[in-house]
Amino acid sequence: MNKTAQEKKTTEKNMVKEVAFVEKELLLNSMTQQELLKTTKDLNKTIKDLTKTLKVLEKHEYLNIHKSKWKLIGYNLSLGMLFAIGTVLWFLLLSWLTFNFFKDSAILNQFIQNQLKVRQFDLGNIREKAQGDILKAIPASTETTGNEQK
């Protein structure tokens, strides 16, 4: 009887081990399924949010403007022209403000006067020298042409 009692105990232990293993696997599978369900719910929520965002983007003006080549060309031309006009207007405003700010400045006035003095030319001397050079060159050329004709 000892053998049968020991065999029974061993069989019961083995059955308990198998049941514990199966329950452990079932518990693990259950936990895995719960995690997968949470992940699936999160993914579904993310997909819904992305779908909403895509619907908003489809209604966005940028996509509507650029569905046609002509609208794209017109849009870019108008932006370029506005940029150019704005640049010119800002430069005009900046130069006007700079002029009005510096026009009564004594230091700037002195600087301008010094530059004008440095850059002044005596045109009378230059003209006399140029006429003298021309007159010196003319008789030499007429003498050679006169000798050739004789």
∠ CA(68), CA(73), CA(74), 5° rounding?
Answer: 95
pLDDT at 126 (0 to 100):
65
Question: Is the model's pLDDT at 1 over the cut of 70?
Answer: no
CA–CA separation, 80 vs 64, rounded Å? 20
pLDDT at 139 (0 to 100):
60
How high is the mean pLDDT of the chain?
Answer: 81
Reported confidence tier of residue 150, pLDDT bands at 50, 70, 90: very low
CA–CA distances in Å: residue 50 to residues 46, 64, 77, 116: 6, 20, 34, 70
Q: Tell me which of 149 and 11 has the higher pLDDT.
A: 11
CA–CA separation, 58 vs 55, rounded Å? 5
The per-residue pLDDT for range 52-93, each reduced to its tens digit, is 998 888 777 666 666 778 888 888 999 999 999 999 999 999
